[in-house]
Structure 1
């Protein structure tokens, strides 16, 4: 494994991305029904629940930030709500499995006690054997999005955090380990060391999904973001890998930009260049399908060469060598 380089900002990452010329093999705009005039975006990758393939999505009116997380099943070429399943008043859902249990999380918003005109947010986690049995079991720190879990090879749990403020600035990624869901605590999250030199102070990022690779590395799908001079937001899907035993992690790499996807509307003009990673499905043929929210208004997919495949050829170093 090579040592990391100095921090790369969005401009440098974009230059590297265009030099690599990552081929886009297929693009698709997902169609949804049963939600009225509301948009569905910031989706998860599909997962199986009681024999049915589902995905979760953020359902929201174009002129509102009040969001529900709903579960959809595909009917021919359209995704329709599973009305018998619960609806959660959350934003930006994510799905994983730990110890055979389904783990679902999302962002809960609530009134800011210091400013009545603004909202605060936190990550809420649910667990259960199936979607119909999901129950809350952990509420993350106030002001923290992008809290993510991944089950490790040894049965432990990797915890990705994203503090802001004194410790994390606009938002930086931290990582810690815990032995079980019962031992996930606010103290562990607060003390999780940051992955240094991933973001400049003017930019921010977070983890959207984490999955184990065949050699024990964690494949991380996330985003890196910034404002431009006109206060427009720019979000880019990115990946890196992390060794949970040694703490080593690779450089961030972009895997897509907005222009790779099909044209479509934006929730607001300042959100046009937003691609929010939802999940990555790795295929046996060496391709991968990225599920993403586009411009805070739509859900798209894009098929690309599997960005994690080459990392599975790396030989992990022993922590003591």
Structure 2
């Protein structure tokens, strides 16, 4: 297996490359949620099965707040409703995976900043259980780190990190592997090496979900982001691949942009051009469903060419 990596690419360069591909984004639909009052539902996970139900977890939040809950939804007559009896987690930006057949669910926990009045800090937390009903908190990540992800490698566990500050600037991705979840620790996460050459210092990104491909490579779904001169944020869904045996990884590639989704509202004016990669469901016909948070206010799903298929034939 061989992966190709060139010099670091900016959002502008990646946008130019994506435009040249003329990639199709089709069957775009807004997901309609009820049962949460007047709150928004966004930054959803992909669809996953739990006890014979197909479930989506979503960030449920008032338009003027950053305090959110993660709610599990099921579809009823084309509308997504809170699943009866499912727990509600006081988190942002949910995600899920399965490791050794066990369900892992996580999200971002916010809490008062230790030194800044009225400021907030954040960390990634993980729950585990045989199903949603039995989830129990089992690990809390380092303070100040979002986008911490785990993936089953069959012969161990892959760990994707995203430090900020002295090590990661505005946010860079790291990768390591461990033998089992028992080895997960804050020192290990903090010492995980970065994947160099993915982001310039003025931009940032993170992993949202990882897929173990048939050839043993890891396909990573994530986001890359930047500020423009006016201070507005721009988030783009992207993918890359890692060989977990060697640590070699590919260039980042964009897989969609905001104007390929349906028009809609935004949480704030500076968040209009935000597509947050929630999850990907791959299909045998060479397509995939991308589940995404849009403009920090809505959730949409689109059909795209399977972005991991080219990596799977390396």
TM-score (norm 1): 0.97
Map of 1:301 onto structure 2: 301
CA contact (8 A) 1:124 1:139 kept: yes
Q: Deviations over 1:166-225 (max 9, x none)?
A: 110100000011111111011110111100000000000000000101100001000000
Q: Does 1:253 align with 2:253?
A: yes
CA contact (8 A) 1:8 1:199 kept: yes
Q: Does 1:43 align with 2:20?
A: no
Q: Does 1:205 align with 2:180?
A: no
Q: Secondary structure at the match of 1:187?
A: helix
Map of 1:229 onto structure 2: 229
Q: Does 1:127 align with 2:141?
A: no
- The Cα shift of 1:2 comes to 4.7
Q: Secondary structure at the match of 2:119?
A: strand
Map of 2:172 onto structure 1: 172
Q: Does 1:263 align with 2:263?
A: yes
Map of 2:189 onto structure 1: 189
Q: Does 1:29 align with 2:16?
A: no
Q: Secondary structure at the match of 1:31?
A: coil
Q: Secondary structure at the match of 1:7?
A: coil
Map of 1:160 onto structure 2: 160
Map of 2:218 onto structure 1: 218
Map of 1:318 onto structure 2: none
Alignment root-mean-square deviation, CA: 0.7
Runs (4 or more) in structure 1 with deviation over 3 Å come to none
Q: Which runs of 5+ in 1 are unaligned?
A: 315-321
CA contact (8 A) 2:151 2:210 kept: yes
**Cα distance in 1 for residues equivalent to 2:57 and 2:294:** 15
**Cα distance in 1 for residues equivalent to 2:246 and 2:182:** 24
**Cα distance in 1 for residues equivalent to 2:134 and 2:112:** 28
Map of 2:57 onto structure 1: 56
CA contact (8 A) 1:153 1:216 kept: no
CA contact (8 A) 2:3 2:249 kept: no
- The Cα shift of 1:238 comes to 0.2
Q: Deviations over 1:239-276 (max 9, x none)?
A: 00000001111100000000000000000000000000
Q: Does 1:140 align with 2:141?
A: yes
Distance change in 2, residues 1:85/1:2 (3 Å): closer
Map of 1:115 onto structure 2: 116
- The Cα shift of 1:83 comes to 3.0
Q: Deviations over 1:31-58 (max 9, x none)?
A: 0010110000000001111111001000
**Cα distance in 2 for residues equivalent to 1:23 and 1:41:** 23
Aligned positions of 1:80-119 closer than 5 A:
80-119=81-120
**Cα distance in 2 for residues equivalent to 1:120 and 1:304:** 35
**Cα distance in 1 for residues equivalent to 2:183 and 2:3:** 33
Q: Secondary structure at the match of 1:117?
A: coil
Map of 1:151 onto structure 2: 152
Q: Which runs of 5+ in 2 are unaligned?
A: none
TM-score (norm 2): 0.99
